[in-house]
Amino acid sequence: MAKPEEMYQCQTVNCGCIYDPDRGDRRGKIKKGTYFNELGEQWCCPICGATKKMFKPLAGPGSTKEE
C-alpha cells in the first residue's frame, strides 16, 4: 500500500478525488503502481477535470493536514 505522502487529494470544493497509486486511474489508462509524480502534466482528475496543480498531499510538506 502506498504511503499517505504518495497519494494526493483534489482540493476542488466539488470533488475531493483521491489519487491512489495502488489503484492507478482506469479512466485515464494509468497503471496500478504509478506514483503521482510520475503522471504526465496532461493528466487531470477523472471526476472533475482538475489539473495536477489542484492536488495536495494527504500528509507531509504542503499537505492538507498542515493548513
Give the tens place of pLDDT for each residue, 13-62.
Answer: 568 888 888 899 999 899 999 988 899 989 999 999 988 888 888 766 65
Indicate the number of domains in the chain.
1
The residues near 22 (Cβ < 8 Å, ≥ 6 apart) are 1, 2, 32, 33
Q: Which residues span the domain enclosing 48?
A: 1-67
Strand order in the sheet with 18-19: 18-19, 8-10, 55-57
Residue 20: predicted pLDDT: 87
Whether 45 and 10 have beta carbons less than 8 Å apart is answered as yes
Q: What is the CATH number of the domain that holds 25?
A: 2.20.28.10
Instruction: Tell me the residue type at 33.
Output: G
DSSP bridge partners of 39 = none
